[in-house]
Amino acid sequence: MKHSPPARATLVAYGHSWVDGDGASSRAAGFAALAATELGLALDNRGVGGSGSSATAELITSDPPPAAVLYVVMTGLNDLRLHGGDPAALNNYTGALRRILTAFQHTSPETAVLILAQPHLVEFGLHAPHNRGSNQLIDRYNAALQGCAAEYTQTLVVEADGWDVRRMLDDDTVHPNDAGHACLARAVVRAAASTEQLSAR
């Protein structure tokens, strides 16, 4: 009697176009794909280009995430690029983060969740109406992210150490190029390797 091989452990990723791999030279060069390969995991990439945090939260709450060894999330950039410094947008962002993290906790409380802080960009004035952001706003949103993540167990905010806006952004000024995706992937791998859930798989 034949037995099916065990399902391969999976990294499930959610968020905006960076998660989806935009700016990379191929799907395999996106940071989620690179990180999954390095960690020996299958990839279930649910990133959606152009999505804001509320759309990511709606996706996760309406269609609960599948079982995984690791969840990766990156969201918020489109919120601040579209709404600028509007306090209501920041409040909506923190509310969406809590919905996302609560959904993960309900679905799989033992699975590690890595949320990537947004690295800086070099230009915000293009691509109207998504042209209202700034690096100061990125810092404000990242601070809010840190506060929300601290409320949840199994959740870690990941910083892209070594990020260089001069050489890691695509010509469109919005998405990472291959070097940027590789930088993000390294950050995910370092963080994931430190989690008990991943090492125990």
Q: What is the average pLDDT across 136-149?
A: 98
| 1 located within any domain | no
Q: Is the pTM of this model over 0.85?
A: yes
- Classify residue 2: in a domain, yes or no: no
Q: Which residues of 131-148 are buried (b: 16+ CB within 10 A; e: fewer)?
A: ebbeeebbeebbebbeeb
Residue 174: both structure tokens together: 């919005």
- pLDDT-derived band at 134, boundaries 50, 70, 90: very high
Residue 1 has pLDDT above 70, yes or no: no
Single-letter residue type at 67: A
Residue among 74, 98, 80 at smallest CA distance from 149: 98
Asked if residue 4 belongs to a domain, the reply is no
Domain at 109, CATH number: 3.40.50.1110
Examine residue 190 and state whether it is found in any structural domain, yes or no. Answer: yes
Give the count of domains, the chain.
Answer: 1
Is the residue at 27 inside a domain? yes
Residue 144 lies in a domain: yes
Q: pLDDT tens, 16-74?
A: 999 999 999 999 999 999 999 999 999 999 999 999 999 999 999 999 999 899 999 99
Would you state the pLDDT for residue 6? 41
Question: Which pLDDT score, from 0 to 100, does residue 7 have?
Answer: 52
Band the pLDDT of 193: cuts 50, 70, 90.
confident
**Residue 114: domain span:** 10-199
Residue 133 domain flag: yes
Q: Is residue 5 part of a domain?
A: no
Over 80: is that where the pLDDT of 5 sits? no
In the 8-state DSSP scheme, what is residue 90? H
84 touches 97 (CB < 8 A) = no
84-117 tens-digit pLDDT: 999 999 999 999 999 999 999 999 999 999 999 9
* 195: confidence class by pLDDT, cuts 50, 70, 90: confident
pLDDT band at 198 (very low <50, low <70, confident <90, very high): low
